[in-house]
Amino acid sequence: MFSIDDTIVAIATPPGRGGIGVVRLSGPEAPRIAEQLLSVSAPLKPRHATYARLQHACPPGGSSEIDEVIATLFPAPKSYTGQHVVEVSAHGSPVVLGEIVRAAVVAGARVAERGEFTLRAFLSGKRDLVQVEAIADLIAAVTPLQARLAFDQLQGTLTESIGRIDASVFDLIARLEASIDFPDEGYRFVDAHATVAEIKGAREAIERLLSRSARGRLIREGAIVVIAGPTNVGKSSLFNYLCGSNRAIVADVPGTTRDLISERVDVDGIAVTLVDTAGAREAVDAVEREGMERATRARDVANLTIVVADAAAEIGPEERALLEETKGRPRLLVANKSDLVSGRTSIRVDEWIAISVRTGDGLDRLRPAISSHLGGTVAATGTREEPAITNARHIGLLERALTCLGAAEGAAAKGRSEEFVLADLQTARTMFDEVVGRRTPDDVLNRIFETFCVGK
Ligand SMILES: Nc1nc2c(ncn2[C@@H]2O[C@H](COP(=O)(O)OP(=O)(O)OP(=O)(O)O)[C@@H](O)[C@H]2O)c(=O)[nH]1
Ligand SMILES: [Mg+2]
């Protein structure tokens, strides 16, 4: 997969029909192959949209013309992949686009593997690994905030931050090595005090990056939020309200919901998988019992459980059991049907958010409450200057770098010889290298590029 000498072709737009669809060619032969298929009399002008008819170079019989297209040549190195790239915009029909790919293959191109265009961008040094992962995230984003964080990473904010830390460590390593190489000069290139201070500076910079990682990861990966509670309290009504659709059946019959129902919703930029569950009560039959077991399993994997109760009723045994179960876990207590409460109500104080799905009372407080229970506020996500770390791979590597820097700092503080300090500093640098892809094992690369689809 890591060869970049041949010319690859693939449909770059999503499957299905659309106004236009794009076929992309990349490799040394891309201009030749394109010009062989296009009705052009002169070579394609760089970065110039050229109208042409596209036909099979060796017609399979009958008419050889496939479509009218716009072709654009991006000569190396100023292209997505760093190689010669030709993008052909045709009519967005899977049949037409498939035929164009076939014609390109007959003319000498090879069908691209998953992520192979982006892999070439990485191998030719156009993009580092953080940016490659950001491209995958940007394409996969389902909320605007996910897209924003991915775009910031694509712009290189995280790479720059790590680069600055790496440069400071590298500089310190150079001076420590000079101290070893020239021991008799009577001159130390760096004293122990400064060494400790500099390592501490690098360590704190990484800690600052990591301090926002939980929130960043939450935004990248999304969260599971499960709605639980006794029967008939309005769980499905709340679920429908948060989804903005009538996805779940609502009825004035206890035990209406029997299975798990889930839907993806955007809560303050977090991609939440919201799960409605069967109400808790003494099961009347095997199906209901199974439904409740599924509800229990859903609560077990939830990042947050919303416990719903009837604002106008007393706490019952089902609620008590749920409150006991969710104690100490992330949970949000919601008392629904506040419209039915006349005057004094027994239980719903302090911790409980009173709402009425029927009248809309209190509903504006729900989303902010869900978002803050999931972890922090959007403002804590970082700015363009202070990037948010969202990717578990980056988090893991930076945590290991932190451990190495801590060890180096400890050794320097104890006045141990430069060699001891150096070994840990070097290891920390290999972690930085692995984040941005300067040295990354092939299996890690394969795993990353596998997440792409063909044509990306
Ligand atoms: N008065 C009032 N009734 C509500 C409110 N929210 C829901 N209801 C009604 O309560 C009944 C039960 O609502 P559901 O959403 O089906 O309740 P559930 O908790 O999903 O019930 P199960 O699926 O049986 O566990 C329905 O008749 C709803 O119209 C509310 O805020 N006020
Ligand atoms: Mg229900």
Tell how far the Cα of 237 is from the centroid of ligand 2, in angstroms. 7
Tell how far the Cα of 325 is from the centroid of ligand 2, in angstroms. 20
Ligand 1 contact, 193 CB (< 6 A): no
What ligand is nearest to the CA atom of residue 362? Answer: 1
Q: Please tell me the distance from the alpha carbon of residue 383 to that of residue 152, in angstroms, as a whole number.
A: 9
Ligand 1 contact, 358 CB (< 6 A): yes
Q: Tell me what pLDDT residue 73 has.
A: 98
Ligand 1 contact, 345 CB (< 6 A): no
Ligand 1 contact, 153 CB (< 6 A): no
Q: Tell me what pLDDT residue 60 has.
A: 57
State which amino acid sits at residue 402: L
Ligand 1 binding pocket mutation candidate from 238, 250, 363 (most atoms within 8 A of CB): 250
Q: Tell me what pLDDT residue 379 has.
A: 43
pTM of the shown model: 0.80
Residue nearest to atom 16 of ligand 1 (CA): 250
Query: What's the CA angle centered on 200, arms 198 and 206, to 5 degrees?
Result: 110
What ligand is nearest to the CA atom of residue 355? Answer: 1
Q: Tell me what pLDDT residue 212 has.
A: 82
Tell how far the Cα of 427 is from the centroid of ligand 1, in angstroms. 58
State which amino acid sits at residue 1: M
Atom of ligand 1 nearest to the CA of 281: 25
Tell how far the Cα of 254 is from the centroid of ligand 1, in angstroms. 9
Residue 14 is classified by DSSP as P
Tell how far the Cα of 246 is from the centroid of ligand 2, in angstroms. 12
Residue nearest to atom 1 of ligand 1 (CA): 337
Contacts of 380 (CB under 8 A, 6+ apart): 212, 215
Ligand 1 contact, 235 CB (< 6 A): yes
Rounded to the nearest 10°, the torsion over CA 304, 306, 307, 308 is: -170
Contacts of 357 (CB under 8 A, 6+ apart): 234, 237, 238, 241, 336, 337, 363
SS3 317: helix
Tell how far the Cα of 363 is from the centroid of ligand 2, in angstroms. 18
Per-residue pLDDT of the chain (456 residues; tens, 9 = 90+): 567 899 999 999 999 999 999 999 999 999 999 999 999 989 999 999 999 999 988 765 556 899 999 999 999 999 999 999 999 999 999 999 999 999 999 999 999 999 999 999 999 999 999 999 999 999 999 889 899 999 999 998 899 999 999 999 999 999 898 888 776 655 566 788 889 999 999 999 999 999 888 888 888 889 999 999 999 999 999 999 999 999 999 999 999 999 999 999 999 889 999 999 999 998 889 999 999 999 999 999 999 999 999 998 888 899 999 999 999 899 999 999 999 987 655 555 678 999 999 999 999 999 999 998 987 544 444 444 567 788 999 999 999 999 999 999 999 999 888 888 999 999 999 999 999 998 888 888 888 888 888 888
Q: Please tell me the distance from the alpha carbon of residue 262 to that of residue 289, in angstroms, as a whole number.
A: 19
Q: Tell me what pLDDT residue 445 has.
A: 86
What are φ and ψ of residue 362, in 5° steps? 75, -5
Ligand 1 contact, 368 CB (< 6 A): no
Tell how far the Cα of 293 is from the centroid of ligand 1, in angstroms. 21
